[in-house]
Each structure stands twice: as structure tokens, then as C-alpha cells.
Amino acid sequence: MVKKIVISMLLNRVQIGIIENGRLVEYYLERNGSEGLVGNIYKGRVENILPGMEAAFVDLGVGKNAFLYVADILKREPQQDIKDALKKRQAVLVQVSKEAVGDKGPRVTTEISLPGRYLVLLPYQEHFGVSRQIVAEAERARLKEIAASICPPKKGLIVRTVAEGCRWSELSEDLEFLLEEWAAIEKRFREKSAPALIYEDKNLLHRVLRDLLTADVSEIIVDGSELYSQVREELKSMGAKYPVKVECYGGKLNLFEYLGLLKDLEQARSRKVW
């Protein structure tokens, strides 16, 4: 299978396609401004509690109030109702799990997760998992054993697909970075008044390279010198494990049109936005 990542600019927004054997199989378009909230962590303030819906509205300080279901509250007793789990004006640490749509505000959860290059840190969950895309049982067992050995008490880790073949030292270093990031989030939560942004997830370019640059990607194609420099810098800062060719396209046609992907692109634009 020939797999490539295509990165282009569309009206000052980054658009990214994942190409497999000449077909566009995934598409991402960077949202404008405050629209792209998924992954961000806020110190929110409970504004209203809705017992009939077993949910609460939480003020994040941006746009419409967020929606928090009782099932998305980790620190509660089993079968505890929303009115007993939360109090009005209470400060809560939440992460956006779904963007606002139409008249509905974003959906949030207290199940915080922090993604790194090889690991995802679960600060409040004692759980160890390995990406399903790693299929070899021996490798899954090896990675899970490493995760369990390096994880601090009362926390959990998910091992990402790109961690396949990683050494103990590489996973340990990634975890150290995530723990430092979590400590900074806890400090900001203590110091800031609600509502406040506590942690902002990385931009689309970083997330795609972090999450989707695996050993089977043979090439990254970009249009323009600025994007080319950004990609090279991101790869350098990430310490990308797999060597990959980065090509800068300089033709007059739109990059997706040049690669014969316009039909796939029209279909994908209605399905996938990050």
C-alpha cells in the first residue's frame, strides 16, 4: 500500500488529505478561530443543572455554554444523580469532546486525556490500553507491560499506533513530557478563576503529523515554501521516528486537483472536519 499525506492551504486554512493507493481516504480542514475547541481543557463554571436531562450547562468563557452529561462525570458515586454530583456555580475541569453544532454548544467531559507522540495520558483513570491497529499480540503485550511499569499510581495510559517498536526510553520520555504538561494544567486550574482556558490543543498540522505519521507513510506533499518549512520544523521538533520524504509542489494547479483528487475531495469535505 502506498500512503501519502497531502497538505495544502485553502483560504488561509490548512487542509490535509491522507492518500492510500491514489485515493483520498481521510480529509481534515482546519476550523477558524474559536470553532475548533475539541481537545481544549477549561476551568468551567456550572451555570444550570437540568435534573430531567441528567445534564448541566457549563460556562467555558467562549460562545454558548457547554453541555455536560452525568455519564461524563468521572468523580461521582455509582448511580449518583446530576443534582447530587454538581452544584450551581461550581468550578469544574472539563475537556471539549464535541464541537458546537447549530444552536447547541460544545459537549464536554471530565474524562481528561492528554495526547503525546506515543502515549495518551489519562490523569483520572487507572487503565492501560494499546491501539487496536497494533495487531501482533507479542508487541501488544510488550507495550502494555512497559506502560504499566512507567505509569504513576492512579493514572492510566493508552499506547498509540506510532509507538509500535518503540523502546522503553522513548515511551518514558514521552510520559515525562505529558506529566509535566499535566502538572502545569493542575497549577493553572488552581490559580485561574472560572471560566478560563487551561490547555489548548495543538493546531491541525501538528496533530495530524503527531497522530497519523506512521511507518507506512512514504511521502508528505505540500504546496508552498511556508508550509514546507512548517512541516520540516514540526518533524524536527517531534523527533519523528520514521524518515519520510517531504516534497514542495510549486505548480499552478491546486494540489488536490494536480493529484487527481477533486472528486474524492468533494465527497470528503462533507464528512471530515477537525
Residue 56, strand partner residues: 49, 68
More confident residue, 29 or 121: 121
The pLDDT tens digits for 86-107 are 999 999 999 999 988 888 899 9
Q: What is the CATH topology of the domain spanning 3-30+203-268?
A: Nucleotidyltransferase; domain 5 (3.30.420)
Numbered ranges of CATH 3.30.420.60 in the chain:
3-30+203-268
* pTM assigned to the model: 0.79
CA 72 from centroid of its chain's CA atoms: 18
Sequence ranges of the chain with CATH classification 2.40.50.140:
35-111
Residue 62 CA from chain centroid, whole number? 19
- Rounded Cα distance between 152 and 25, Å, is 38
Can you say whether the dihedral through the CA atoms of 236, 237, 240, 241 is positive or negative?
A: positive
Least confident interval from 43-52, 60-69, 130-139, 230-239:
230-239
| Predicted local confidence at residue 178, as pLDDT | 96
The C-alpha cell at 19 is 492518500
Architecture of domain 35-111: Beta Barrel (2.40)
How far apart CA 124 and CA 185 sit, in angstroms, is: 13
* Inter-residue contact 42 to 258 (CB < 8 Å): no
3-class state of residue 82 by DSSP: helix
